[in-house]
Amino acid sequence: MQRFVMLNVILFGILISSSAFSQSFTDKAKKDSAVDMSDEDPAMQKAMERARTSLEDFLRKAGSPPPNTDQYSVKVRVSEGDKQEYLWISNLKTQGDLLSGRIDNLPIIRSVKKGQSYSFAKTEIVDWTYIDKSKKKVFGNFTTCALLTKEPPGVAESIQRQYGLECDR
C-alpha cells in the first residue's frame, strides 16, 4: 500500500521566494508548507537511500563542522496516529543512542510544534543537509531533489543553480 506523506520544503531556513519555482511549489515553500509526495515514489526512495548511505560521514562533519559551513540539519519522520510528516531538525546534539534538535518547520500534525526540541533515533533520519558558504553550495538535501523531479526540467535546473543544489536527475 502506498503511503503519501507530507514533505516540508526548506533550504537551510531560507524562505524560498524565487519566481523560478512553479507557482504551487513556490507558494508552499513561502508558507513553510508541506508538499505531498509518496515515500514510495522511486525518486524519493533513491533520495532517502542516498541520505542513509552517507549519514555517518554527515554526522561526523556536523559534530566538528569545518570552517565556512553551517546550518546542519536532518529530516526525520514524525508520526501522529496514521499521519506521517517529514520535518527538518537543526541544532543537533547526540544523547547516547538518540539525537535531538529543534524542529525548523511549521508542522501540520499537532503533536509537535515549530521550535520545539525533538529527540529521535538515527534510524528515523531520511535526509540531511548543510551549506558550505565558501563554495556557495548546498550539500545533501536529497529529498528536495526528489521533489524537483516533479517540476519542469528548466524550473528544476534554475532552482538547483540558484541554491547551489546538486541533483542528478
Q: What is the pLDDT of residues 115-141, one digit of tens each?
A: 999 999 999 999 999 999 998 899 999
Give the range of the structural domain holding residue 115, as residue numbers without chain letter.
4-163
DSSP string of 72-119?
EEEEEEEEETTEEEEEEEEEEEEETTEEEEEE-S--SSSSS-TT-EEE
Helices then strands (H, E): number in the chain?
5, 8
Identify the three-state secondary structure at position 130: strand
> How confident is the model at residue 66, as a pLDDT?
95
Q: Is there a domain that residue 127 lies in?
A: yes
Residue 13 has pLDDT above 70, yes or no: no
Least confident of 17-31, 81-95, 142-156: 17-31
- How many domains is the chain partitioned into structurally? 1
For residue 48, name the pLDDT band (cuts at 50, 70, 90): very high
Q: Is residue 80 part of a domain?
A: yes
pLDDT for 35 equals 56
Q: Specify the residue for cell string 505531498.
A: 36
Cα angle 133, 138, 139 (rounded to 5 degrees) comes to: 115
Query: Do the domain assignments include residue 168?
Result: no
Q: State mean pLDDT over 96-113.
A: 92
Q: pLDDT at residue 86 above 50?
A: yes
Question: If we measure between CA atoms, which residue out of 149, 157, 158, 150 comes closest to residue 19?
Answer: 158
pLDDT at 2 over 80: no
Q: What is the pTM of this model?
A: 0.80
* pLDDT given for residue 164 in this prediction: 87
In a domain, 169, yes or no: no
Sign of torsion over alpha carbons 124, 162, 6, 119 = positive
The pLDDT value given to residue 96: 81
Question: Is residue 135, in this structure, part of any structural domain at all?
Answer: yes
The per-residue pLDDT for 17 is 33
